[in-house]
Amino acid sequence: MAIQPIRLFGDPVLRQKAVPVVDFDKELRRLVQDLTDTMLAAPGAGLAAPQLGVGLRVFTWYVDGEVGHLVNPELGLSEEIQDGDEGCLSLPELSYDCRRAKLVVAHGFDQHGEPVVVEGSDLLARAIQHETDHLDGVLFIDRLDQAARKAAMKQIRESDWFGLERPTVKVSPHATRGLGL
């Protein structure tokens, strides 16, 4: 297992837009494995590469007993909306109702560069949208209404983890092309 430290709210990498994967190589497969191992150990319903400090468009999910990953996702969203509880591994112990599309069709690639289409509803749709947001530097608290966002920020400022020193990564085990720090 290769469990990695998860970057917390306040780390600049969480606000940067990740770049598309161009090399479907051993390093990408290791990144997918690290994402999966870290997500399952946390435990979480999803984890995006920027949460490990890697600025590439890759994420994993674990919903309803299914583990999956997607590289370079492009989403098609339904007009039908769902409201539901949402949290984030980069915002520990924080959970708020968040509005998302009820259905999603995600096009992308697997870790070997093969095209993949993932269709999901409810929790899977929520997880895919949440993780794709991470790839664009968007956190779920950005999608909350003003009152909920204000309450979330207050809860963050009062948390034990807020302001903790970010992990120091001297050398990333992944080919980040300078985007990992």
pLDDT tens digits, residue range 32-54? Answer: 999 999 999 989 899 999 999 99
- Answering whether pTM is above 0.85, one says yes
Query: Domains in the chain, start-ordered, CATH in brackets?
Result: 12-86+93-158 (3.90.45.10)
Give the per-residue pLDDT at 161: 83
Q: Which two tokens stand for residue 31?
A: 């990144």
Q: Which residue do the tokens 């909350």 mark? A: 144
Give the per-residue pLDDT at 164: 64
Give the per-residue pLDDT at 62: 95
Any idea which residues carry the catalytic annotation? Answer: 131
Picking from 119, 144, 109, 133, the residue whose alpha carbon sits closest to that of residue 24 is 109
What's the CA gap between 71 and 127, in Å, rounded? 15
Q: Do the beta carbons of residue 98 and residue 140 sit within 8 Å?
A: yes
Give the per-residue pLDDT at 169: 43
Three-class DSSP category at 61 = strand
pLDDT tens string, the chain, 181 residues long: the values are 588 999 999 999 999 999 999 999 999 999 999 999 999 998 989 999 999 999 999 999 999 999 999 999 999 999 999 999 999 999 998 999 999 999 999 999 999 999 999 999 999 999 999 999 999 999 999 999 999 999 999 999 988 888 765 544 444 455 554 444 3
E strands, the chain, are: 46-48, 58-63, 66-77, 81-88, 91-101, 103-109, 115-121
